[in-house]
């Protein structure tokens, strides 16, 4: 609450309202400078903003899918020789091993495109991954 008062006053010069009830409400007054808007917004502008946002989302999803295919191919090519999870992550440029495992390795293992070198111990610290021939 302290920060809400502080920053509302700083950015818009107003005072926030906190309304307790069945639903707790906070009303933060904003001026045009705080919302980066220089006047009233028309329905056409709203439509354009929504359209741009949807377009950006779709293009991001498509590029993610195309990028994902590139990463998958890169992993499969790299793992023609048995590699550790850490080596794979470094090769494709990921730092988060958990995310990389969930996003790429598990699906490849489930599709039998990638195999464990120690299949009876998938959680082994010595585990490596190799592309299925």
Give the Cα separation of 74 and 82 in Å (integer): 14
Distance of CA 65 to the CA centre of its chain: 13
Q: Which residues contact 26 (CB under 8 A, 6 or more apart)?
A: 4, 16, 17, 18, 19
Q: Is the pLDDT of residue 88 over 80?
A: yes
> Can you give the pLDDT at residue 23?
81
Q: Is the pLDDT of residue 129 over 50?
A: yes
pLDDT tens per residue across span 11-50: 777 788 888 877 888 887 777 665 565 555 555 555 555 5
CB 82 within 8 A of CB 129: yes
Mean pLDDT of the chain: 79
> Can you give the pLDDT at residue 42?
55
Of the two residues 71 and 59, the one the predictor is more confident about is 71
Q: Is the pLDDT of residue 111 over 70?
A: yes
Phi, psi of 92 (to 5 degrees): -95, -5
> Can you give the pLDDT at residue 83?
95
pLDDT band for 130, please (50, 70, 90 cuts).
very high
């Amino acid at each position: 609450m302290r920060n809400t008062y502080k920053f509302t006053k700083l950015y818009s010069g107003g005072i926030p309202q906190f309304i307790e009830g069945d639903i707790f409400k906070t009303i933060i007054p904003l001026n045009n400078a705080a919302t980066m808007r220089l006047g009233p917004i028309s329905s056409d502008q709203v439509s354009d903003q929504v359209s741009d946002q949807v377009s950006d989302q779709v293009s991001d999803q498509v590029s993610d899918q195309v990028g994902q295919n590139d990463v998958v191919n890169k992993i499969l090519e790299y793992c023609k020789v048995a590699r550790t999870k850490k080596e794979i992550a470094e090769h494709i440029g990921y730092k988060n091993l958990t995310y990389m495992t969930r996003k790429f390795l598990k699906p490849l293992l489930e599709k039998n495109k990638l195999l464990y070198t120690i299949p009876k111990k998938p959680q082994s610290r010595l585990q490596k991954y190799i592309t299925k021939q």
